[in-house]
């Protein structure tokens, strides 16, 4: 079983945008919107993130998956399982309440552990 806490949706979405070669404008727009939504999500501090965003992005990917399944759109074949896996991972992360791509907490420069010049 995959460790979904280690997936990086931002990297996968960028890769899909660059190499999926979707033939339908609706699908391309949905994929781009998913990336914009995800980028805005991970830019927020952890305490301000809404896990519903995972479902929103997964729904955008589901739109593309349905378009391809109904043969309304073609996709670069090696990217097909990647898209399906990402959609499933996002839904699984939502169910398990996993925070994907957490921001590292910033440490103040002048703390007890820092050296003073």
Q: pLDDT band at 113, cuts 50/70/90?
A: low
pLDDT in tens, 2-17: 688 888 999 999 999 9
DSSP 22: -
pLDDT in tens, 38-77: 999 999 888 888 899 999 999 999 999 999 999 999 999 9
pTM: 0.83
DSSP 1: -
Q: What is the pLDDT of residue 117?
A: 46
- Please check whether residue 60 is in contact with residue 30, taking contact to mean a CB–CB distance below 8 angstroms: yes
């Amino acid at each position: 079983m995959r460790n979904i806490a280690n997936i990086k949706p931002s990297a996968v979405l960028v890769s899909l945008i660059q190499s999926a070669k979707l033939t339908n404008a609706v699908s391309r727009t949905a994929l781009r919107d998913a990336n914009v939504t995800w980028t805005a999500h991970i830019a927020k501090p952890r305490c301000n993130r809404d896990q519903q965003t995972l479902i929103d992005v997964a729904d955008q990917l589901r739109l593309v998956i349905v378009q391809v399944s109904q043969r309304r759109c073609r996709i670069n074949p090696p990217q097909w399982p990647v898209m399906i896996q990402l959609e499933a991972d996002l839904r699984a992360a939502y169910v398990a309440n996993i925070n994907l791509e957490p921001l590292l907490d910033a440490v103040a420069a002048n703390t007890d552990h820092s050296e003073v010049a």
